[in-house]
A and B are shown apart, each in its own frame.
Chain A
Amino acid sequence: MEFGLSQDQKLMQESVRRTLERVAPLERIRRAAGARETVAADIWEALVGLGLPGLIVPEEFGGSALGLLDAALMAEMLGRHVAPVPFLATIVMAPAALIEAGSDSQKETWLPKLASGEIRAGVAVSERASGAREGARITASGGRLNGSAMFAFEAQGADLIIVADEKGALHLVAGKAAGLTLTPLETIDLTRDLSELHFDNVEAEPLAGDSGRALSRMIAAGRIILAADTLGAGDMMIEKAVDYARERKQFGRVIGSFQAVKHLCAEMAAELEPGRALIWYAAHAFDTLPDDASLMAAHAKAHLSEAGRFVARTSTEVHGGMGFTDLLGLHYWFKRIGLDRQLLGGPERLRHEAAVAQGLAAA
């Protein structure tokens, strides 16, 4: 019985943390955000150098064959540094779908290039994970897709997009396919890309295997990654609040010596910290206890969304007026946590799914 991280996992997380401290300081984030640059080339290259793109890809396709727990540890670091690089879709969800249900030739075509970081993949599954907005709907017929998908992840500049149709079947679409129109969506979080996709008779190849299972696996994986991203961002917001409260003086003393302020910091830590073990377990379940994975992924994401929201607003309050300004840049973390919460299902929807998964509610 060992419920914790291995030495290798700790070292890997540490090395990504150090790399991000070096290549993704706040000034770099600001520059990327200002330029609407959601794939910061230098940061992406640094992560490719650490082998991140092939994290969960099997060795035979050039990856490291690590688990979702390892991926979650990386996501935590990316959230911690509000890194403007793709990860959720290209490193986790798309490979997860291909590994789960790709044919041999689909795997051979895409996985090695994804693993090396040579190409990137987006996913358009929001309608199946959080419900359709704006009447978004994709129909598939005769190898062609029609309709629209909202809130596609990391689709800008992607060579491959994995798309769920209205029945939950998954399709592989070339990023430059004829008839596909991609419109970037402007969001509060300038470190990640969301797009609206329009399909006008776009050529698509169905994912070969059990699409339903692949879809539920990739959504579970995505939810765990988003929970981990929030954990990392939340950790950083607590650290920043504590540091600020130890420096800032009012009434002749540092504000961190006022219980009104330090109790807020204690509450943030107490709310967020148990989420770490919940994410570890959910990711471990994804890797080794698949029957438990969807339930735990839903709980992990719903729980971290709530704890994350509390930390995001509380840390901002501890920073006082400065927290509200652009000068400190604290809002990048606030917005990252805000985005994480809504993607792939908000807490209420996820809790309903958790109840359904346990037979406590009708689907």
Chain B
Amino acid sequence: MDLSYGPQYEAFRAQVRHFIETHKDQAPRRFGVSRPAPEVLAWQRLLIDNGYAARTIPKEYGGFGAEPDILESRIIAEEFTKAGVPTGLANQGISMFVPTLLELGTPEQKAKWIKPTLRGEIVWCQGYSEPGSGSDLASLQTHAVEDGDDFIINGQKIWTSTAHAADMMFCLVRTEPDKPKHEGISYLIFSMSTPGIEVRPLTTMTGHAEFNEVFFTDVRVPQSQIVAGRGQGWYVANATLKHERGMLGDPNQAGTRFKEIVDLMSRETVDGTRLIDNPVMRDRLMALQARVLAMQFHGLRLLTAAQKGEDPGIARLIVKLQGCEINHQLAALAIDVLGELGVLYGESPHLRAGGVWQHRYMFDLGLIIGGGTAQIQKNIISERGLGMPREPKAAKA
């Protein structure tokens, strides 16, 4: 156990702080709802140029080109969070498509797509889930049929965030209908302005259209826009999902939210008594603090394991399940602290913090379901982590 970073890293931390101090006035205050606002793009370029975004992406592809160093990444995240200054963009293109392309793309694909994606100039959406293929993603039915040098795509995707604003989609389609389900899928990339694509917003329980449905009718895509070859799509998708699950359930976000609730409970009163002075509410708060702390230290443990190249086993598999659950419980506590104020919504003048807890209470439930449902996570934990048997295949009817 050694929780100090040592002089070399502390010097790095000082550099990061200096950068934040001298540039924080340029940090964007307006983010743009679905496409990054111009000041966000400028900020992203500044961060990349200084190595605080796209830090380990090779220079030739528009990144900063630093050697991967988990502690440096952590220090950057810590300092930006502490200063309340936004870090670089973390959209699906940057977080999921770029790492996938780096691992499996051709030199031409990397040269063409990575740089503008990193800079936020190209916005991507992910075409994976379908109405009939959620947890059982490999059963997907959207198909692409060969026609000369092209594929012709027909079918439908769902849960496609930012599809309405995206320039491009990375998409799973069935190209080999006669092969077993996992082996018949290909990973295609194409422009969202290709004729035959229709995007319909999908309004969720929050009242906002956070997702879309995307319909394909005879969409023509050159065969060259495949990543990693025909029938390799399932393998490519797993490389991507690994990056997605890493994004969900971040314990440091829970730590920030915990502090917000302490503030909320210290401010809000019922009959003149602060909620923090209500022993039942305070007990819930403390129980959640222990859970948040446990997950934060758990995160440090995983960080050290990653640094040493050790496989943390089951410890890694529980993060999405527990992290999303704790976030939702935090939101639930905040709502209960607010009481009737917690059911106000929309433009009510009595809203606290712009209704952010109401939104999180619903949206965070979506995160328990999305990115691999809690039930799928439990399958993964029990099968891969505990070595329990898989569900036997259902008998064919």
Interface residues, chain A, with chain B CB atoms under 8 Å away: 1-6, 69, 238, 242, 245-246, 253-254, 256-259, 262-263, 265-267, 269-270, 273-278, 280-281, 284, 288, 296, 299-300, 302-303, 306, 347-348, 351-352, 354-355, 360-361
Contact = CB atoms under 8 A, between A and B. Distances in A.
Nearest to B300: A3
A254 B389 contact: yes
Nearest to A253: B392
Contacts of A274: 291, 294-295, 297-298, 318, 322
Contact of B297 (A265, A269, A280, A348): A280
Given A266-B386, A355-B285, 20 more contacts: A1-B9, A242-B387, A246-B387, A257-B389, A257-B392, A262-B382, A265-B382, A266-B378, A266-B379, A269-B318, A270-B321, A270-B322, A274-B297, A277-B298, A278-B298, A296-B293, A299-B286, A352-B283, A360-B285, A361-B282
Interface string B274-300: 001101001101110111011101101
Nearest to B1: A284
Secondary structure at the A interface, as helix, strand, loop or mixed, is helix
A1 B5 contact: yes
A129 to B, nearest CB: 17
Contacts of B383: 262
A2 B286 contact: no
B388 interface: yes
B291 A303 contact: yes
B290 A299 contact: yes
Given A257-B391, A266-B378, A269-B381, A3 B1 contact: yes
A241 B314 CA distance: 16
Contacts of A6: 1
Contacts of B262: 360
A277 B300 contact: yes
B71 interface: yes
**Could you say which of B282, B283, B294, B391 has the most chain A C-beta atoms within 10 Å of its C-beta?**
B294
Contacts of B379: 259, 262-263, 266
Interface in B292-336: 293-295, 297-298, 300-301, 303-305, 307-308, 314-315, 318, 321-322
B2 interface: yes
B391 A3 contact: no
Interface centre among A2, A254, A300 (most CB of B within 10 A): A2
Contacts of A352: 279, 282-283, 286
Contacts of A276: 298, 301
A274 B299 CA distance: 9
Given A1-B3, A246-B388, A266-B385, A302 B290 contact: yes
Contacts of A267: 378
List the 3 shortest-distance A-B pairs measured between CB atoms, nearest first. A277-B297, A351-B286, A3-B300
B390 interface: yes
Given A263-B382, A348-B283, A257 B5 contact: no
Contacts of A296: 293
B214 to A, nearest CB: 31
B375 interface: yes
A280 B378 contact: no
B348 interface: no
Contacts of A275: 294
A280 to B, nearest CB: 7
B4 interface: yes
29 contacts: A1-B4, A2-B307, A4-B1, A6-B1, A242-B386, A242-B387, A242-B388, A246-B388, A258-B391, A262-B379, A262-B383, A263-B379, A269-B318, A269-B381, A269-B386, A276-B298, A276-B301, A277-B297, A278-B297, A281-B297, A299-B286, A302-B286, A302-B287, A351-B282, A351-B283, A354-B290, A360-B276, A360-B282, A361-B282
Contact of A262 (B266, B377, B388): B388
Contact of B388 (A257, A273, A288): A257
A273 B387 contact: no
Nearest to A241: B386
A273 B291 CA distance: 11
Contacts of A263: 375, 378-379, 382
B286 A354 contact: yes
A300 B287 CA distance: 10
Contact of A278 (B294, B322, B381, B389): B294
Nearest to B295: A274
Interface in B357-392: 375, 377-379, 381-383, 385-392
A266 B71 contact: no
A40 to B, nearest CB: 31
A3 B389 contact: no
A281 to B, nearest CB: 5
Contacts of B305: 4
Contacts of B266: 360
A354 B258 CA distance: 15
A259 B294 contact: no
